[in-house]
């Protein structure tokens, strides 16, 4: 199977296939997998260059809390949101939305930040994946100017309020205005129109029967594993019965397929966002110091955080672990390990984890860059994820068609 015969989640499949068919009818050679891969690589290189030019105007590594991310020094209950917040600060479209929010507040005197944020988000050409979270970021006037740790506790609480720190938080229910502002209610309305039953001739004597009505469940996919659903609840049934009925709904074949498709591991859920935060911070430091890993190491070492007695108690659970560090000792970068090195004399020395450099070589910096870029595309596919193979095939075949016509 060719690459462009696979499912294309970016949309535009029908148009792309139609254009590809038209090109084939005109005698144009179909795009090969190699041509598609070259086009994808060219597109990715261009996109990264454009993003690099855009972020040149910002200086992330000079903030007072920048080193927190290199050390993984973020509260567990805030790690995932802090990660999404920082990656959102890389987005040109979300920065434009923040500028639009500020313009609206300046133009409409007395307009509160929440309303301005909702209007600004509506102005985006494409809706971001994490609508509710992005909206709460825009409701915070300090976004995208400040780091997550620089935000006041009041601002962070506004964002965290939708994400309880309980082990099993209640299902989140957005308010109806947000659903309306984000176009979700309109999408349900369109679903209803599309599901309207078609009335056909009904004549049993001539063997003609109306087609049976096929109900369409009120389940709207927002992005990948994220769905909006409308249920009818009868609270007189009691908590136990309602929980049992929801469990039975999850056991329906179509929902079992969704659960299997989107199942993910629950281990290391805190560690993963901390890893991605470190990747992003390392990438920012590297690019802002001229892609020079030695200069990045010098900066990181000079500004390395140091342990306090309280921080030692927070980080380490056992007395044995705590005994390895004292108040004032340098903190290790996240996931740093002790390192063995040989001197020119042949003598071997062990560099403790809390003295190890951020980067061992230039390849480490580039690896952090690649990891951060991949996560950026996963979080905000509408801006950073490349088009699907079908679209690349269409463009390639159209170029061939135009070239053949001279």
249-259 pLDDT per residue, tens: 999 999 999 98
Give the pLDDT score at 94.
Answer: 95
**Do 88 and 134 touch, CB atoms closer than 8 A?**
yes
Give the pLDDT score at 208.
Answer: 61
Written as six digits, the tokens of 152 are: 């006041």
CA distance 363 to 376: 20
Percent of the chain with pLDDT over 90: 47
Measured CA angle at 63 (ends 57, 68), to 5 deg: 125
CB-based contacts of 315, cutoff 8 Å, min separation 6: none
> How does residue 202 score in pLDDT terms, banded at 50, 70 and 90?
low
> How does residue 200 score in pLDDT terms, banded at 50, 70 and 90?
low
For the chain, the average pLDDT equals 84
Measured CA angle at 404 (ends 399, 406), to 5 deg: 100
The mean per-residue pLDDT over the stretch 333-358 comes to 83
Given a cut of 50, whether residue 7 has pLDDT beyond it is no
Q: Where are the alpha helices (DSSP H) in 108-175?
A: 113-122, 131-139, 153-160
Give the pLDDT score at 344.
Answer: 63
| Size of the chain, expressed as the number of residues it contains | 406
> How does residue 294 score in pLDDT terms, banded at 50, 70 and 90?
very high
Q: Kindly report the pTM of this predicted structure.
A: 0.70
Q: 237: number of CA atoms within 13 Å, CB side?
A: 10
**Do 156 and 130 touch, CB atoms closer than 8 A?**
no
């Amino acid at each position: 199977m060719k690459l462009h015969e696979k499912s294309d989640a970016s949309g535009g499949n029908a148009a792309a296939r139609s254009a590809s068919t038209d090109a084939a009818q005109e005698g144009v050679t179909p795009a090969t997998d190699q041509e598609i891969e070259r086009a994808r690589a060219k597109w990715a290189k261009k996109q990264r260059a454009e993003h690099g030019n855009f972020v040149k105007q910002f200086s992330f590594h000079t903030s007072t809390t920048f080193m927190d991310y290199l050390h993984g020094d973020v509260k567990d209950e805030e790690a995932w949101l802090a990660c999404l917040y920082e990656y959102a600060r890389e987005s040109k479209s979300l920065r434009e939305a923040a500028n639009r929010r500020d313009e609206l507040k300046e133009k409409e005197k007395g307009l509160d930040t929440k309303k301005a944020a909702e209007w600004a988000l509506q102005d985006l050409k494409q809706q971001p994946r994490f609508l509710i979270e992005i909206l709460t970021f825009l409701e915070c006037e300090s976004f995208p100017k400040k780091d997550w740790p620089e935000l006041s506790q009041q601002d962070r609480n506004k964002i965290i309020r939708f994400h309880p720190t309980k082990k099993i938080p209640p299902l989140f229910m957005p308010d109806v205005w947000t659903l309306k502002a984000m176009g979700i209610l309109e999408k349900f309305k369109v679903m209803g129109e599309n599901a309207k039953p078609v009335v056909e001739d009904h004549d049993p004597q001539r063997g003609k029967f109306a087609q049976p009505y096929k109900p369409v469940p009120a389940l709207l996919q927002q992005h990948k594993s994220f769905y909006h659903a409308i249920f009818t609840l009868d609270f007189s049934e009691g908590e136990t019965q309602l929980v049992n009925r929801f469990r039975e709904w999850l056991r329906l074949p179509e929902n079992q397929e969704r659960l299997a498709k989107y199942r993910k591991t629950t281990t290391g859920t805190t560690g993963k966002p901390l890893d991605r935060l470190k990747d992003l911070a390392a990438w920012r430091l590297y690019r802002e110091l001229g892609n020079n890993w030695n200069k990045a190491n010098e900066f990181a070492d000079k500004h390395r955080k140091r342990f306090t007695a309280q921080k030692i108690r927070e980080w380490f659970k056992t007395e044995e672990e705590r005994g390895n560090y004292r108040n004032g000792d340098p903190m290790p970068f996240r996931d740093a390990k002790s390192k063995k090195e040989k001197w020119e004399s042949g003598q071997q020395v062990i560099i403790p984890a809390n003295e190890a450099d951020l980067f061992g070589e230039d390849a480490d910096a580039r690896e952090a860059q690649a990891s951060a870029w991949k996560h950026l595309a996963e979080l905000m596919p509408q801006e950073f994820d490349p088009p699907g193979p079908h679209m690349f095939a269409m463009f390639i075949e159209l170029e061939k068609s135009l070239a053949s016509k001279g």
